[in-house]
Each structure stands twice: as C-alpha cells, then as structure tokens.
Amino acid sequence: MIDNIQKILKKYFGYDSFRKGQKEIISDVINNRDVVAVMPTGAGKSICFQVPAALFEGTTIVISPLISLMKDQVDNLNEVGIKATYINSTLNSIEIKNRMSDILAGKYKLVYIAPERLESIAFVDSLKSINIPFVAVDEAHCISQWGHDFRPSYRKISRFIDSIYPHPIVGAYTATATERVKQDIISLLNLKNPSVYVTGFDRENLYFSVLKGVNNENFILSYLSKNKGVTGIIYTATRKEAESIYTLLIKNNIKAGVYHAGLSDEDRNNAQNKFAYDDIEVMVATNAFGMGIDKSNVRFVIHNNIPKNMEAYYQEAGRAGRDGEKSECILLFAPKDIQLQSYFIDESNLSMERKANEYEKLRSMVDYCHTSKCLRKYILRYFSEEATYEKCDNCSNCNDDSEMVDITLEAKKIFSCVYRVKQSFGSGIVAEILKGSKSKKVLDRRLNKISTYGIMKEYTKKNIVDMINKLAADNYLNLSNDGYPVLKLTNKAVAVLKNDESVYIKTVKVKKSLSIDNELFEYLRELRKSIAITEKVPPYIVFSDVSLKEMSTFMPVNKEELLNIKGVGEVKYEKYGERFLVIIDDYIKNKKIDIGSIRNNLNQELSISSRNFSRSNNSINKEEKKKSHIITYEIYKQGKSIDEIAKIREMKERTIEDHIVMCLREGMDIDALEIVPPKYIEMIKEALNNCKENRLSPVKQMLPEEVTYFWIRLVKYGR
C-alpha cells in the first residue's frame, strides 16, 4: 500500500517524496484510523486527504468553510486527473441538480461541501445512498468556540458522519490549534481513538518582522518600489483603511485590488480572480480575505494593523510562501490598533467568558509586538511548541541590522508638551503645538501660549506624529481608552525628562527585492499565463513558481528530465510538458548554452545527482524512442491539417502547433509560410524586426488581435 501511496503522489501531484508527517497521516487513514492533523499553512494538508481519496473505492466528502478554497482545490484536482466537484451557494439550482446526479452516479473521487449544507435533511439523505469511505474536515478548528474562527455549522458534522453506514474514516485538518482546541476537535467530531499529528508550526521559509511606530503608507510604498512585480497581500483592520491604502497604491501605478465585506459579491469575486490570475500584484484586504486563499506564489504579507490574536495572525501571515520559497511577513504595529481590537471585542455578542478569552489572546498579540527576543520562538511557544534554538537568524529581532538614532532631545520636547497640556490631547494636537501651527483648534484653546509652542518648527507635522507613534510603540507614551484617545506619560518618559535615560529609535531598512532574477523563468511565466487564460484556471494551478524556478535552473530537455521537476506529474506533462520543453530548448539554443557544463556545475554546487540531472552529454544525446513531435511531423507530411492531426493523436491543437514549431527549428521540411495567412506575413516580419526584446508577447502587442503566437513563431523560425 505504501508503494501505491508513492505512485499516486508522483503520478498526479508530481512529487518524489512526502513532506514531514504526510506519509504517516495518509498511512493511518488508509489503515482505517481517524486522524487529527495540525500542520502549518503551506505544509501540504490537502495532500493528506486527496491521496487517500484517490486510493479509496467510493467518494470522499471534504467539508470546507470557504468557497474560494473549494474552487481552487477542485480546479487543481481536475487539472491533475482526479475527478472532483463542489456543491455551494455559487451554483444555481440546475447546476446543483446536475452535479448531484453525477455524484449519485459515482463519477467523482472527491466532493467538497460547505458545513451549512449539512443543515438540509434532504441533502444529507441523498448522500447516504453513495459509498463514502472517508470524510475530511478541513479548517477543523472552526468547530471549537475557543478557536479563532468558531462556526456553529461545524457542530452538525458529527451527526452527519454518524448517519453514514458503514461508518467512514474521519480526518480533521487545521493549521492552528491550541491544546484546548485539539481536544474540542476530537470530542465534538466524536473521533474514535484518533492518531494526533502536530508536525510543527515552524515555517522556516518565512521571515518575520515587527516594525513599531513607522509611517505605514511611506513604508508600504517604499517596500513595493523595491519589490516590483512581486505578489503580496496587505491586511488591514477596517474597510476604510483597506480602501485608503488601495487608493494610495492605484495613484502610484501599482497593480492592486481591494477586498472586504462591504463590497458586492461580484466585486469581491472579480478582485479575487484578478489576484489568482496574476492580473494584479497586491491585494489590500480585511480579514474577510482569509482562509482558503490557496495562491502559492504570495511572496509577502504585510499587516497594516495588529490582528485580534496570534491564531489569526499566523494563519494570515501563512498565506505567504505556500510553495516553500522564501517570503516575508511584516507586522506594522501602532498602539492605536490595540484600542481598535479592544473595541471590536467590546462590541461583539460574545459571552463574558469568551470576551475575557479574547482579551487574553489580544494581550499575547501585543506582547509579540513588544518582545525583544526571537519572534519565531515566541510564535512556537504560543502554540505549545518549544524551539531548539535561542536565535533563528530569520526574524527582525534575531537579524537586526537597523541603525539606532538618538532622539533624546526630540523626545524630551514631546514629553514636555504632553505634560504642559496636562495629558489632555491626542498626537495630532500635540504635533501641531510643537510645530507652531496657527490652526483654529490651537488658537481657540490658547495652546500657542504654552512654552513648548513651536519648539519643533523645523519638522513637519507628519514627522512629529511619526516620532510620537514610535515613542508610544516603545512604551514611553500610552494612549487612553477614551472615545478620543489622549497621550499619557509613562514612567519611562519621566526617566527621560529627569535625564536618567536616553531614547533611541531604529531606522527601518527595506529589504532587497524578493523577485526571481532569471530571464528563462520570465519566459516560462509568460507561457504559463497564456495557458492559464486558455484553460480558464489560475496560473499557479498550471505549474507553481517552484516548478518554473526548477525548470529555469535545471533546464530539462526531454520528458524524463521534465518529470523530475517538482510538481510535474504525468498528467500535467501530457497536457503541457512539451510546450515548456519548446521554450527551454529555444532559450538554450538562442543563448548557446552548454547543457553538459551546466549540469556538471549544478551537480557540484547542489549535489543533485539523486535527481538524475547529472547525466553526461553522451547520455543526454543518447538515441531515444521516437519522439512525439516526430510522429506529428510524419502525419503532417501526409497532408493533414493541424486540427486533423489533433483529432488523430487525441491531443489539443496547441500541442500539435508546438510540435510543428519544434520540427521547424530542428530543420525539418516544413513550409511555415503556407500555414500563415499571406496578408499577415510581412506584418509579422516587421514586428519581429522592430522588437528589441527576445520575447513574443511584445511582438504580439504590435499586431492585430487575430494574429496568433503560433503564426509569429512560424514566421520567426521559418525566415
């Protein structure tokens, strides 16, 4: 059975080995044991129920709380050749009826449903007639009122499971669960002697940082200017802030979208689709854009405000780097955010006991922002996991290269002003007094008469407010919890006024770009985007960035080598493989790359002999069985058209077109100009001559819409 697991993993998902914990979890499931799996975001939870589902006879039911997650996973499963579908509120009654008919006919290996569906007795009764060997409960923490995203509908799941005969195996999966939540999952799902796996919460590829008291908008613009073309999410606490930052990004010509609960369903869906299809680079969102965001190539997550608790923060931050590549999680902390989250708790309909629990969690979130110790270690300890290190060297506290600036004099001026206005005003008024503003608010209150009026006139009001925010973030100043928060001095500030302590602040350095500097990678991305548009799936479902990065590094030249790339399974190879080989082969020839030398260097530097990329030039050029594009060529020479060859070979026309181009480049007897409509030939030639880049998309943009990439390639290589 273990061999079967391995075969499924390679055939459908394109992986040679399992990640930590996956094999053990899958083995228990296929040996009829219930499981609870607590695995960090990006650790491969879905594989843990998708692989068993592919092996079991019958239909696995996956209970998932979010529509976006269902669609992403179903699209991906169908893409790799595993039949799957979903039933949710996005479908009309006819679509639901047709899908239910196919479900009852046993056409699917996996069916995704929302927990709310289980409230329908008719729906539950209809499922009882099919063979359900396995029920997977995703985001299982939602069943516990002590979790960070409690959903009452999850309490219906155990009754549904108990109604199935014979009783199915049950798997519960989540990214974040405290000990109390784990026990709730086991109890409320009525699991039978389950295996409990906690594979570790550490996300080694993520760089965590907390920046206190910075000007958020300035930082965000600076960060994005140094990370152009990189995909990321900016989370905000309110809809108003989301709209404000979104507007700021658009004004600065950044491809951005906005997502929050105040938008219509259509607007939210459009924004999410644009993000999924790489049409926008940055999504600005509230926590409504949360669980189920399955995009693998998110390189940064910036929190504009602190979230309500560590569970929410770690799950949202975990949207970065799901593919295992290095990514950043940046939290911008300001004391006013504590008041906002406290307000949300106060205004909630929670019981007093649960409100107290939420306040305790918020305190842990604030402590995370203030700790001077390893941020990663703090996170792990929160989730009851002990780190084996004191310093991780991969967070802003352990890897602090910022410079310290002495602002003792400025701090004294600010503290003196706060004292002289009797600690009765907020940061805006205090900054105006120090600046020497002649605003009506200042003059009407005669605040221009106090001794600190105008003593910081060389600064802008914005500079002074930024300094006040930094001092508040470092506990020199407190903000009151009144409706209008005012500044209060702390004992630390008093020590500064008495000359017992100096004040230093850190200068914030924006890290260098996270983007991949690789020309071939960009060509492969361009092809992936083209395929995604044609297939109507997000680009990362075609191939992840990790797969493209490996392709651009190892430059596979045949099927065997391409199948050694992570994420390239047999089904995806048959669909897309040869098109990517064409691009790689084109790049190798244009750049006159010595593949043998490249392989030897990679073998020495990365020790990749086990991946079969250390073949000698002789083995690379070794005679193989007749290649697919040669078969296409032989049929073409019989006078068959592209569409006729596609039908004969049961392939897509795009694949046949790629074969023709490959044959042309290898010098075979093909008159490319017979295929291209004559009126476009000179036009294409002119565009090719005028384009200074060695890419096809700029050429395509110069030509009429009806001119295809296939025609351009034919003219390019047939000249």
pLDDT above 70: percentage of residues in the chain: 91
| DSSP reduced 3-state for 632 | helix
Structure letter (DSSP) for residue 227: S
Instruction: Give the CA angle between residues 258, 261, 263 to the nearest 5°.
Output: 60
Across 58-68, b (16+ Cβ under 10 Å) vs e yields: ebbbbbbbbbb
- Model pLDDT for residues 304-342, shown as the tens digit of each residue: 999 999 988 998 898 898 888 889 999 999 888 888 898
Q: Round to whole Å and give the CA distance between 682 and 694.
A: 19
């410079």: which residue's tokens? 403
Compute how many other C-beta atoms are within 10 angstroms of the C-beta atom of residue 34. Answer: 23
- Model pLDDT for residues 502-550, shown as the tens digit of each residue: 888 776 666 655 666 578 998 998 899 888 888 888 898 899 888 998 8
Q: How far is CA 717 from CA 400, 518, 578, 593, 603, in A?
A: 53, 24, 18, 19, 33
Closest CA to 394 of 382, 379, 381: 379
- Model pLDDT for residues 133-177, shown as the tens digit of each residue: 999 999 898 898 776 677 888 999 999 999 999 999 999 999 877
Predicted pLDDT of residue 611: 43
Residues sharing a CB contact under 8 Å with residue 334, sequence separation 6 or more, in sequence order: 212, 213, 216, 305, 469, 472, 473
Strand order in the sheet with 206-212: 206-212, 327-333, 300-303, 232-235, 282-285, 256-259
Compute how many other C-beta atoms are within 10 angstroms of the C-beta atom of residue 634. Answer: 13
| More confident of the two residues 265 and 251 | 251
| 108, pLDDT greater than 50 | yes
E runs forming strands in 187-324: 195-198, 206-212, 232-235, 256-259, 282-285, 300-303
Residues sharing a CB contact under 8 Å with residue 27, sequence separation 6 or more, in sequence order: 1, 2, 5
- Mean per-residue pLDDT for 658-674? 78
Terminal Cα distance for the chain, rounded: 55
Closest CA to 234 of 319, 164, 161, 160: 319
Q: In the numeric block, which tokens belong to residue 321? A: 């780097």
Least confident range of 166-175, 287-296, 426-435: 287-296
- Model pLDDT for residues 436-450, shown as the tens digit of each residue: 999 999 999 999 999
Is the peptide bond prior to 52 cis by the omega test (within 30 degrees of 0)? no
Across 167-182, b (16+ Cβ under 10 Å) vs e yields: ebbbbbbbbbbbeebb
| DSSP reduced 3-state for 84 | strand
């000359």: which residue's tokens? 499
| DSSP reduced 3-state for 173 | strand
Q: Round to whole Å and give the CA distance between 205 and 661.
A: 40
- Mean per-residue pLDDT for 354-379? 86
Predicted pLDDT of residue 596: 67
Radius of gyration of the chain measured on its C-alpha atoms: 29
Q: How confident is the model at residue 102 (pLDDT cuts 50, 70, 90)?
A: very high
Give the torsion sign (CA, 223, 229, 231, 236): positive
Q: How confident is the model at residue 48 (pLDDT cuts 50, 70, 90)?
A: very high
Predicted pLDDT of residue 598: 61
Averaged confidence pLDDT in the chain: 85
| 363, pLDDT greater than 80 | yes
Q: In the numeric block, which tokens belong to residue 19? A: 């990640």
Predicted pLDDT of residue 452: 94
Q: How far is CA 205 from CA 227, 394, 412, 576, in A?
A: 18, 9, 41, 29
Instruction: Give the CA angle between residues 287, 510, 278 to the nearest 5°.
Output: 50
Helix 352-370 / helix 310-317 crossing angle, nearest 10 deg: 60
Domains of the chain, CATH where assigned: 2-198 (3.40.50.300), 226-382 (3.40.50.300), 404-506 (1.10.10.10), 519-718 (1.10.150.80)
| 109, pLDDT greater than 90 | yes
Instruction: Quote the pTM value.
Output: 0.68
Q: Round to whole Å and give the CA distance between 18 and 12.
A: 13
pLDDT above 90: percentage of residues in the chain: 35
| DSSP reduced 3-state for 533 | helix
E runs forming strands in 195-277: 195-198, 206-212, 232-235, 256-259
Q: 2 has which bridge partners?
A: none
Closest CA to 632 of 662, 611, 602: 662
